[in-house]
Amino acid sequence: MLVLLASEPSSLQTSTDIALKLDTNPVVVRRVLASLQQAKLIESQKGPTGGSRLLKSPKAISLADVYKAVETGSLFHTPNVRAAAALRVNGALQKIFSSSMIALLEEFEKTSLSQVLKRLGKSTGKK
């Protein structure tokens, strides 16, 4: 969604327009937009001429900002079990998951929305 908003920074885009471009339901788009607005990454205006747009430049928005805005739970899950062997396995997995999550967030911190747009331009032949 943010890539779409960043690609047309001067215009407001409605949840319906975004949903059509992403082939998804406008209700899903509105939920995500609400989270992005709460995180102060976008601004939204209601009404017939309303829509959403980025509140910051694409260079100022990291993928970590986006992830933290829209992800509510843990990326990795272990089952809730009571058996001793399973608890040991879960403990070992939790350490691996924690290290992986730290590495992922560090990489997300280093990557801006602007960098994603540049990569998309290269992959589609645009400059």
CATH number (domain holding residue 39): 1.10.10.10
Residues 22, 35, 6: CA angle, nearest 5 degrees: 50
Q: State which amino acid sits at residue 96.
A: I
Residue 58 has pLDDT above 80, yes or no: yes
Give yes or no: residues 52 and 7 share one domain.
yes
Burial of 52 (0-12, 13-18, 19+ CB in 10 A): buried
Give yes or no: residues 70 and 95 share one domain.
yes
Give yes or no: residues 69 and 119 share one domain.
no
Mean model confidence pLDDT for the chain: 89
Give yes or no: residues 85 and 38 share one domain.
no
Give yes or no: residues 75 and 89 share one domain.
yes
Q: With beta carbons less than 8 A apart as the criterion, state whether 63 and 111 touch.
A: yes
Q: State which amino acid sits at residue 17.
A: D
Range of the domain at 57: 1-61+113-127
Closest CA to 114 of 51, 66, 70: 66
Residue 69 has pLDDT above 60, yes or no: yes
Give yes or no: residues 50 and 91 share one domain.
no
Give yes or no: residues 44 and 72 share one domain.
no
| Number of folded domains that form the chain | 2
Task: Give the C-alpha separation, 14 to 52, whole Å.
Answer: 6
Residue 123 has pLDDT above 60, yes or no: no
Instruction: pLDDT band for 93, please (50, 70, 90 cuts).
Output: confident
